[in-house]
């Protein structure tokens, strides 16, 4: 581990945290989530080399103050830790480029669906991890799931880097697709709910800016309440619901229209999609392998 961080002596800090400012991290595919990761890591003092394909994106990353390039191999060779944040279907081409340059390095994929098995096969000799952050990393509130390989050498370092985006939860690999559906996609699902509540507020005559505040503050407050008190959501609901009052009228409609079952179905479908992605990407990698004439 020492070798990753150059010659700086104080590797392990109090509380088992690492001196991240000694570290160079490559983020391959710094698009929407990758550039948020770049900002979070950079705010922790990490030197980030971000990559993208298009000139526009590289220029944008440079304007944000990052070292940016289209040269993935350069980024991998310069970095001690590599993050991969291209879209899953973009991964086979990227793996083809960098596969011969990652041996001995920790490589963390934040791509939905792609299993450790496939990462190991395409990144020979690397210590591969899967992580699933979410967009809330932009406000340092990501709930990031982490899958580490067995006998991981760099796990504490990777956790420290990921914690620059918020909370980190270590998971067995069989839960990461479900985590992707709940926490990775979570901000989109919750944003749909917020949008619906704002429309509902408009429908009953609350002006738009007030509607936005009413909904957001209620959501943040409810999350804070549940986070800080030992109360089950159903108990909170009961505390709000006056017999014969207003809340029960709303709850009756929600129950009748099947909001809970819609959400359960939605998360199941998103989880299944992540699993299917794994098969699709593996097929593409095999095709690429065959087309290259390899045996
Ligand atoms: N968006 C989200 O909230 C989350 C996404 N993820 C995962 O992160 C990944 C990225 O998602 P997202 O950020 O939304 O997607 P984006 O399309 O915004 O980002 C992907 C980036 O990868 C770049 N790219 C593609 N191929 C290469 C290559 N060969 N070399 C260098 N750069 C390349 C693209 O560059 P260019 O723009 O120049 O084409 C683009 O900027 C996905 O795998 C997704 O599953 C995980 C958690 C949350
Ligand atoms: O929609 C997706 O596939 C990615 C994974 C989690 C969030 N966005």
Q: What integer pLDDT is reported at residue 278 of this predicted model?
A: 93
Report which ligand 1 atom has the smallest distance to the Cα of 112.
Answer: 45
Same domain, 80 and 99: yes
Looking at 239, 257, 275, which one is the last position of a domain?
Answer: 257
Q: Which structural domain range is residue 106 located in? A: 2-176
Best residue for ligand 1 mutational test, from 62, 85, 165, 168 (most atoms within 8 Å of Cβ):
85
Clarify whether residues 22 and 103 are in a common domain: yes
**Minimal CA–CA distance to 160: which of 6, 11, 3?**
11
Residues 103 and 62 reside in one and the same domain:
yes
Task: CATH number of the domain at 198, please.
Answer: 1.10.3730.10
Query: Ligand 2 site: residues with CB under 6 angstroms?
Result: 112, 180, 184-185
Query: Are both 81 and 168 inside the same structural domain?
Result: yes
The stretches in the chain having pLDDT less than 70 are 1-18, 294-295
**CA gap 217, 179 in Å, rounded:** 26
pLDDT at res. 292? 82
pLDDT at 291: 87
Asked, for residue 273, whether it belongs to a domain, the answer is no
Beta-carbon contacts of residue 184 (< 8 Å; ≥ 6 apart): 112, 132, 133, 134, 145
Q: Is position 276 within any domain?
A: no
Ligand 2 centroid–CA 16 distance in Å is 31
pLDDT at 288: 86
* CATH number of the structural domain spanning residue 39: 3.40.50.720
Which residues, other chains included, contact 266 with Cβ-Cβ below 8 Å and sequence gap of 6+? 189
Q: Residue 163: inside a domain, yes or no?
A: yes
Give the per-residue pLDDT at 19.
Answer: 77
Question: Cβ-count burial of 184 within 10 angstroms (0-12 exposed, 13-18 middle, 19+ buried)?
Answer: buried
Confidence at residue 15, expressed as pLDDT on a 0 to 100 scale: 39
Does any domain span residue 201? yes
Specify the pLDDT at position 294. 61
């Amino acid at each position: 581990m020492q070798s990753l961080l150059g010659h700086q002596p104080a590797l392990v800090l109090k509380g088992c945290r690492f001196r991240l400012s000694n570290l160079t991290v490559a983020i391959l595919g710094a698009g929407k989530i990758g550039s948020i990761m770049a900002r979070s890591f950079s705010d922790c003092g990490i030197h980030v080399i971000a990559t993208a394909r298009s000139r526009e994106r590289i220029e944008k990353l440079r304007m944000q103050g990052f070292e940016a390039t289209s040269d993935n191999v350069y980024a991998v060779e310069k970095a001690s830790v590599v993050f991969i944040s291209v879209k899953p279907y973009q991964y086979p081409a990227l793996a083809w480029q960098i596969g011969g340059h990652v041996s001995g390095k920790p490589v963390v994929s934040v791509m939905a669906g792609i299993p450790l098995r496939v990462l190991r096969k395409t990144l020979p000799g690397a210590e591969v991890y899967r992580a699933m952050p979410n967009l809330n990393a932009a406000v340092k509130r990501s709930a990031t799931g982490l899958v580490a390989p067995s006998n991981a050498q760099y796990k504490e370092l990777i956790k420290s880097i990921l914690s620059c985006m918020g909370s980190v939860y270590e998971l067995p690999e069989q839960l990461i697709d479900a985590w992707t559906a709940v926490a990775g996609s979570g901000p989109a699902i919750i944003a749909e709910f917020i949008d619906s509540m704002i429309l509902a507020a408009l429908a009953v005559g609350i002006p738009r800016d007030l509607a936005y505040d009413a909904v957001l503050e209620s959501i943040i407050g409810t999350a804070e309440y549940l986070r800080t008190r030992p109360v089950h959501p159903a108990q909170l609901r009961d505390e709000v619901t006056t017999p014969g009052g207003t809340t029960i009228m709303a709850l009756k409609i929600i129950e009748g229209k099947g909001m809970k079952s819609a959400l359960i179905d939605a998360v199941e479908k998103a989880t299944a999609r992540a699993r299917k992605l794994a098969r699709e990407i593996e097929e593409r990698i095999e095709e690429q392998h065959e087309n290259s004439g390899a045996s």
